[in-house]
Amino acid sequence: MIRNLTGEHAEIAIDFGTANLRIVHRDGGVVFDEPSLCCIGGPRDQPDFIAAGAPVYAMTDRTPTGMRVRRPLRRGVLQDIGAATHLLRHAATHVIKRRSFRSPHVMIGLPADITQAERNAMLTAARDAALNPVSFIPEPLAAAIGADLEIDAPQGKMIVECGAGTTEVAILSLGGICLTRSLRGGGAELDAAIIDYLHSRHKMLIGRRSAERIKYMLGDACTQGGASIPIEVKGRSLVSGLPTAIRLAPADFREVIDRHAQHIVDVILEVLTQTPPELSNDILGEGIVLTGGGAATPALRAKIAAGTGLRVTIAEEPRLCVARGLLSLLSAGSTAN
């Protein structure tokens, strides 16, 4: 059934996430993996492209007047077609130069509940970047394939794809999605919550990159036994207006993390209460699988297990599950030719 999910002639696939854009080639695996960022300059009515991808990461919150760093996606949805086109063109040029093919058939992963208008916006960006023809596949389905779940079987599987811009909960069986709900807000929302916490509690202002670094340090603290080691936070004091640094224990962020995790648990519970009984029986035995870069969020696994009473596992290399699933679909399509 897998080969029926998409066009059989796709040569490359794109995992266009809020945080990263990955391109998968049918014969070479992941051949491009860079941040989903684009730097634009000049007047707003006639913007000039400056850079995209990895070079822009260091520019974030450091650009002078007249330069702007854009994220094409926000909450998993395309918000800036122009920035998306520049980023896709930058990535495609890199891949085409290495693989020497022209006008490849492209497969792109999208959120399962995307609207037709959002789908059309992505299609426009891809075509403007000279990527055509284009087919789409739901990201939870690709993530389940990448997590090595047997989705073709007549048995329910539950997956939670924890992305930077959106968290998708899906029940799968017989090669398709039976039920899905999404929370428009993933790891990026936790970054914003950390910024708000430091602003309100400690009168300190930090940027998105610093918040992301703190999030990863909190994850390391939980998984590597460093829960008692303070985390150094650097930013600007809202009291003095000067650069400052403070040291906080990982436990100080517990309320922020618990609140973020509870939002995800609430969506999972909503899906479980609407799941047909036979699928519920399957999930009771199979448990829940977490994929996506946010799967390693501190306390998330424990919070979901406590809230649902189900076994929760994290897929191997969860951030690459969608890319691995897309590669499997490309390979299946190649075999069908």
CATH homologous superfamily for the domain 143-185+259-319: ATPase, nucleotide binding domain (3.30.420.40)
pLDDT at 316: 95
pLDDT above 80 for 247? yes
132 pLDDT tier (thresholds 50, 70, 90): confident
Which of 97-106, 181-190, 213-222, 296-305 comes out lowest in average pLDDT?
97-106
| Side-chain-facing half-sphere of 120: CA atoms under 13 Å | 3
Average model confidence (pLDDT) for the chain? 89
CATH code of the domain occupying 187-255 = 3.90.640.10
pLDDT at 3: 44
Which of 43-47, 201-205, 238-242 comes out lowest in average pLDDT?
43-47
- Tracing tokens 């906080």 back to the chain, one arrives at 248
CA–CA gap between residue 144 and residue 30 (Å, rounded): 17
pLDDT above 80 for 4? no
The maximal CA–CA distance of the chain, rounded, in angstroms, is: 66
pLDDT at 226: 55
User: Using one digit for the tens of pLDDT, what is the confidence trace for 60-116?
Assistant: 888 898 899 999 998 778 889 999 999 999 998 887 765 555 567 899 999 988 889
CA of residue 281 relative to chain centroid, distance: 29
Q: Where are the domains of the chain?
A: 2-142+320-336, 143-185+259-319, 187-255
Q: Which residues contact 260 (CB under 8 A, 6 or more apart)?
A: 189, 190, 193, 297
User: Using one digit for the tens of pLDDT, what is the confidence trace for 252-282?
Assistant: 999 999 999 999 999 999 999 999 999 999 9
pLDDT above 70 for 23? yes
pLDDT at 26: 87
Strand partners, 109: 15, 137
CATH homologous superfamily for the domain 2-142+320-336: ATPase, nucleotide binding domain (3.30.420.40)
CA–CA gap between residue 175 and residue 272 (Å, rounded): 19
pLDDT at 298: 76
In the sheet where 106-110 sits, what is the strand order? 29-35, 20-25, 12-16, 106-110, 134-138
**Domains 2-142+320-336 and 187-255 equal at CATH topology level:** no
Instruction: Report helix, strand or coil for 290.
Output: strand
CA–CA gap between residue 20 and residue 270 (Å, rounded): 29
- Tracing tokens 């829960």 back to the chain, one arrives at 227
Which of 2-11, 47-56, 81-90, 105-114 comes out lowest in average pLDDT?
2-11
What is the pTM for the complete model shown?
0.89
Find the distance separating the first CA and the last CA of the chain, reported in whole Å: 15
1 pLDDT tier (thresholds 50, 70, 90): very low
